[in-house]
Amino acid sequence: MKKRVKKQFSVLLISLLLILVYTLTAHADTIKLRFAQQNPDTGWSTINAVEPWLRQIEEATGGKIEIEAYHGQTLARGPDMWNAVKMGITDIGWCFHGYWPGLTPLADVISLPGLPFTTAEKGSEVLWQLYEKFPEIQNEFQDVKILLFYTSEPYTLITRNRPVKSMKDMRGLKLRMTGGPPTDMVRELGGTPMLIPMPDSYMSLSQGIIDGMGAPWEAIHVWRFYEVVDHFTEVPFPAVYFSIAMNKKTWNRLPEDVQDAIMSVSGVEGARFWGKNFFDEMRTLALKAIEEQGKRENVYALSDEERERWIEKAAKPVWADWVKKMEAAGYANAQEILDTAISLSKE
């Protein structure tokens, strides 16, 4: 009896040791990475784009990568994210390039007004294709490893009291817009651009400080702008863009098979995923909220003829100015980059 018990104990001990060794080995093979973003963990974008994509990486790598997410600026503030990625404060970061004017001027081509793409999914695909095609754009991101880009759809024009169905309806409107080409476009159309922080926009609209603003459907829904505006017009406004960037040293330390697995859910496929799930899917929710407000009939789209008038009057001059500035900065193929962006957007 004692021998049998002793034998059983030995078998149990050996089993426990084997499990311990296996666990420690598996743990040693797991590479832990940090992901940081400014958006809250409960937000639409986190639930429908960020977290699913992080899980895709873990699954694609067969569990070799484990990602700890830091939401809501708990690891790095949004405006500081580019440097946080470069310095290794975070391994992967969500980067909004509107924070850093002039940092990546060639990639800014995707933010020019009037480009032919109409969805974030398509805009995201185009920006990645431009990045792959032009070494000059790649050089703008040489301090980090870019996993993917994504864009918003072109901004929608939302207004309090006056519907905008033609260029003449723009005259005299005070509109909140981001700086650079968007403000130039508003001026060309006869409006007055106002630089107001996004968190102050709802109050500015409700108090009549501004008559309207350009915004993606995602912001219209998240910030509940449909409560304080009555009209929504889809116009050839600019889009904005983002990158998901990784610390270069961290990337270079990864085994090649892990790098390949990460890129299998990044690159153009990741771009499409983020564009669709971060922005495009929000249009349906925003329209539902607008309908509940009794304003669904106030959602307009410019006629093809009117849209072309806007592009001729206020988009093409901004294109020409961008090309001129880029060529003066030494980018001889700026026109080719713009032409390629337009061509790819039509495909």
- 232-254 residue pLDDT tens: 999 999 999 999 999 999 999 99
pLDDT at 24: 39
Residue 171 has pLDDT above 60, yes or no: yes
Mean pLDDT of 167-185: 89
266 and 136 both lie in a single domain: yes
pLDDT at 7: 47
Q: Which helix (H) or strand (E) holds 146?
A: strand 144-151
268 and 175 both lie in a single domain: no
Provide the domain limits for residue 179.
156-238+293-346
**What is the CATH classification number for the domain harbouring 259?**
3.40.190.170
Residue 16 has pLDDT above 80, yes or no: no
How far is residue 253's CA from residue 56's CA, in Å, rounded to a whole number? 20
At 192, list the tokens. 């007055």
pLDDT at 62: 96
| pLDDT band for position 44 (cuts 50, 70, 90) | confident
Q: Is residue 25 part of a domain?
A: no
62 and 207 both lie in a single domain: no
Residue 104 has pLDDT above 70, yes or no: yes
72 and 109 both lie in a single domain: yes
| pLDDT band for position 101 (cuts 50, 70, 90) | confident
pLDDT at 290: 97
How far is C-alpha 206 from the geometric centre of its chain's CA atoms?
27
pLDDT at 331: 97
Q: Is residue 80 part of a domain?
A: yes
Mean pLDDT of 258-285: 97
Residue 3 has pLDDT above 90, yes or no: no
103 and 201 both lie in a single domain: no
- What percent of the chain has pLDDT above 70? 92
Residue 107 has pLDDT above 70, yes or no: yes
How far is residue 42's CA from residue 282's CA, in Å, rounded to a whole number? 15
201-229 pLDDT, tens digit each: 999 999 999 999 999 999 999 889 999 99
Residue 12 has pLDDT above 50, yes or no: no
Residue 5 has pLDDT above 50, yes or no: no
246 and 270 both lie in a single domain: yes
330 and 251 both lie in a single domain: no
pLDDT at 68: 97
204 and 222 both lie in a single domain: yes
Residue 112 has pLDDT above 50, yes or no: yes
Residue 17 has pLDDT above 90, yes or no: no
Q: Is residue 26 part of a domain?
A: no
Q: Is residue 21 part of a domain?
A: no
Residue 298 has pLDDT above 60, yes or no: yes
The DSSP bridge partners found for residue 241 are 151
Question: What is the CB neighbour count within 10 angstroms for residue 113?
Answer: 27
Residue 180 has pLDDT above 80, yes or no: no
84 and 211 both lie in a single domain: no
Final residue belonging to a domain, choices 251, 282, 313: 282
Q: How many domains does the chain have?
A: 2
pLDDT at 341: 98
pLDDT at 29: 77
279-296 pLDDT, tens digit each: 999 999 999 999 999 999
276 and 165 both lie in a single domain: no
35 and 169 both lie in a single domain: no
Q: Is residue 20 part of a domain?
A: no
146 and 201 both lie in a single domain: no
- Residue 245: Cβ-neighbour burial (10 angstroms; 0-12, 13-18, 19+): buried
- What percent of the chain has pLDDT above 90? 83
Residue 187 has pLDDT above 70, yes or no: yes
| pLDDT band for position 19 (cuts 50, 70, 90) | very low
Mean pLDDT of 259-267: 98
How far is residue 113's CA from residue 319's CA, in Å, rounded to a whole number? 8
Q: Is residue 17 part of a domain?
A: no
How far is residue 52's CA from residue 21's CA, in Å, rounded to a whole number? 31
Residue 273 has pLDDT above 70, yes or no: yes
